[in-house]
Structure 1
Amino acid sequence: MDVRQAKVNAKEAEAVSSLLSVLSEAQFTCIQIGPIFPVKHGSEGNQVIAVRNLTQLEMRALSRCPEIQTRPEKALGALATAISAMADAGDGGDDDDGGDAMPRRAV
Structure 2
Amino acid sequence: MANFQISRTSGQYWYHLRADNGEIVQSGEGYTSKASCENGIQSVKANCQPQRFESYFTAGQYGFNHVATNGEIIGRSEKYTTAQARDQGIQVVMREAPEARVQELS
Query: TM-score, length-normalised on structure 2?
Result: 0.26
Structure with greater Cα Rg: 1
Of Structure 1 and Structure 2, the greater strand share is in: 2
Of Structure 1 and Structure 2, the greater helix share is in: 1
Query: TM-score, length-normalised on structure 1?
Result: 0.26
Larger relative contact order (CA 8 Å, sep ≥ 6): 2
